[in-house]
């Protein structure tokens, strides 16, 4: 028996014992249980509450990550603003403690395919991870050494940087949940780049202070805003843009060498990541443009009429604008069959529910047919089928309108709109009705679902009751 199951059985047995006790004992037990529920409430790791909390925690992690090197090198902490800095420092410490004590021990997790929602298990799962040890180290109270070194010894707070994994976890979480993860990835990469330049700016000022502000042409001269001037120097060094001050001694040469190597790292890694992210985000559009160019170039080589080339290009443009893909059926090929069916049902169920042909069919048959539907877009005045053709497909109007024509091209017998079905008669094997009986032309842009005769017959074999319902409906529709 699994630990979770044993825990549930134990709770049920305790509840049965409580029901047999006097009312006074039951009231005490109820209060105890209420406190137990409060103490052991777990948190969904993908819920809105957890995302909101992680954004707060990540913000204060960033605060420590940026401010500790800044205050450790630049003289920005003074007697006048010391209280302000310490307020934000200890507010960040409070957020760290809340995260360690109240939030992380309650995060649900998967084990053997089941969500573990028992507080004892979620707490144990957190405490056995290395991140728990890092979290404990990150709140080491080295601040008590301020008594000896004073609050200006801000580097005593360096262990707070050990909680940087919270920042990474937040970005990974948002990356999975938002609709445009590429923006998040670019933002994270830019933050990395800016932080490396920030560290180099802090190092440059600390090096200048060590050698003496304005002592030579290489170090910071003490004019203007110290951080802005040093950040500008670090940016030029990292990007190798602009003329930097020339080193005058060995330590300065070493400093510049290290800074240039960091700049190479910035360009090689971070800029390369941005390139890959943008390439991934625009991959589908790039492939679409390549296919359009190849198709049009092929048609030009064959000297096809300009009107035909224009209609092909118009089809490409409209299909991409409405679907952002040229074949939506290939998008979900990697998913399991059951999941693909569920998605297709949710997407197309409103259209299928309007189709009278399938109104009395088993729902299981609809689930079989929904994956066989092929979406096809027709341009204005495109002929979908013509009178006398052998029917091999039936059509369901997903959007737009189509005209059923008489003997003349301008004679409109009927206008079919969303949910209408046509062409089904020739698919059902009714004697003498395997040919199209009218021309059907698209009126404006129209998007149709196409179901082939082979796919329909394959599905009907498994559902013999539908073989009676569908032909009956179709034959009666033909008579009317």
Q: Please determine, for residue 18, whether its predicted confidence score (pLDDT) is greater than 60.
A: no
Domain ranges across the chain: 3-39, 48-279, 285-326, 337-479
Residue, of 272 and 101, whose pLDDT is higher: 101
What was the pLDDT predicted at 52? Answer: 93
- Rg, Å, the chain Cα set: 35
Out of 203-212, 310-319, 363-372, least confident range: 363-372
Q: What is the pLDDT of residue 19?
A: 44
Q: How confident is the model at residue 98 (pLDDT cuts 50, 70, 90)?
A: very high
Q: Is 366 a residue whose pLDDT tops 60?
A: yes
Q: Where does residue 125 rank: exposed (0-12), middle (13-18), buried (19+ CB within 10 A)?
A: middle
From first CA to last CA, the distance across the chain in angstroms is: 65
> Can you give the pLDDT at residue 432?
57
DSSP string across 298-364: HHHHTT--HHHHHHHHHHHHHHHHHHSSS-GGGTTTTS-HHHHHHHHHHHHHHHHHT-GGGTTS-HH
Write out the CATH class of domain 337-479.
mainly beta
Count Cα neighbours of 76 within 13 Å in the Cβ-side half-sphere.
Answer: 18
Q: In this predicted structure, what is the pLDDT of residue 35?
A: 42
Mean pLDDT of 280-294: 83
- Distances 428 to 17, 181, 196, 375, 431 between C-alpha atoms, Å: 66, 47, 69, 21, 9
Q: Choose the weakest-confidence range: 221-225, 258-262, 320-324, 325-329.
A: 325-329
What does the pLDDT read at residue 201? 92
**How confident is the model over 466-478, as pLDDT tens digits?**
666 565 444 444 4
Q: Report which of residues 346 and 256 the model is more confident about.
A: 256
Instruction: Assign 89 a pLDDT band (cuts: 50, 70, 90).
Output: very high
Q: Which is more confidently placed, 397 or 147? A: 397
| Percent of the chain residues past pLDDT 90, beyond the cut | 18
pLDDT confidence bin for 406, thresholds 50/70/90: confident
């Amino acid at each position: 028996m699994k630990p979770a199951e044993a825990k549930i059985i134990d709770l049920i047995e305790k509840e049965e014992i409580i029901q047999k006790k006097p009312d006074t004992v039951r009231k005490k037990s109820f209060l105890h249980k209420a406190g137990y529920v409060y103490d052991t409430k777990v948190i969904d790791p993908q819920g809105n509450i957890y995302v909101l909390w992680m954004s707060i925690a990540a913000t204060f992690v960033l605060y420590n990550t940026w401010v500790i090197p800044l205050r450790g090198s630049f003289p920005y902490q003074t007697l006048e603003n010391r209280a302000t800095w310490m307020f934000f420092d200890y507010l960040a410490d409070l957020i760290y403690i809340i995260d360690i004590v109240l939030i992380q021990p309650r995060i649900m997790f998967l084990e053997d395919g089941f969500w573990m929602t028992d507080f004892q298990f979620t707490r144990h799962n957190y405490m056995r991870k290395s991140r728990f040890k890092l979290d404990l180290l990150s709140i080491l109270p080295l601040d008590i050494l301020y008594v000896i070194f004073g609050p200006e010894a801000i580097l005593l707070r360096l262990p707070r940087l050990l909680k940087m994994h919270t920042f990474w976890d937040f970005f990974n979480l948002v990356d999975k949940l938002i609709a445009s993860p590429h923006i998040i990835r670019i933002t994270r990469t830019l933050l990395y780049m800016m932080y490396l330049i920030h560290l180099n700016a802090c190092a440059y000022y600390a090096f200048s202070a060590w050698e003496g502000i304005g002592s030579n042409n290489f170090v910071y001269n003490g004019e203007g805003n110290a951080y802005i001037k040093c950040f500008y120097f670090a940016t030029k060094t990292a990007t190798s843009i602009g003329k930097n001050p020339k080193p005058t001694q060995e330590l300065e040469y070493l400093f510049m060498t290290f800074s240039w190597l960091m700049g190479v790292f910035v360009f090689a890694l971070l800029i390369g990541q941005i390139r890959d992210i943008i390439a991934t985000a625009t991959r589908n559009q790039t492939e679409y443009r390549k296919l359009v160019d190849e198709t049009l170039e092929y048609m030009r080589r064959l000297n096809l009429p300009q009107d035909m080339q224009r209609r092909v290009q118009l089809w490409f443009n409209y299909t991409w604008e409405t679907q952002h893909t040229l074949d939506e059926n290939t998008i979900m090929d990697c998913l399991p069959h059951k999941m693909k069916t569920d998605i297709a049902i949710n997407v197309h169920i409103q259209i299928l529910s309007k189709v009278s042909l399938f109104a009395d069919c088993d729902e299981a048959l609809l689930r079989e047919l929904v994956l066989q539907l092929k979406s096809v877009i027709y341009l204005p005045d495109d002929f979908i089928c013509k009178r006398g053709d052998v029917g091999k497909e039936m059509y369901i109007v997903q959007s737009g309108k189509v005209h059923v024509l008489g003997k003349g091209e301008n004679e409109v017998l009927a206008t079919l709109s969303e949910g209408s079905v046509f062409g089904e008669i020739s698919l059902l094997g009714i004697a003498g009705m395997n040919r199209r009986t009218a021309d059907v032309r698209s009126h404006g842009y129209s998007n149709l679902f196409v179901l082939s005769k082979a796919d329909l017959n394959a599905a009907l074999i498994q559902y013999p009751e539908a073989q009676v319902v569908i032909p009956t409906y179709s034959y009666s529709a033909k008579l009317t």
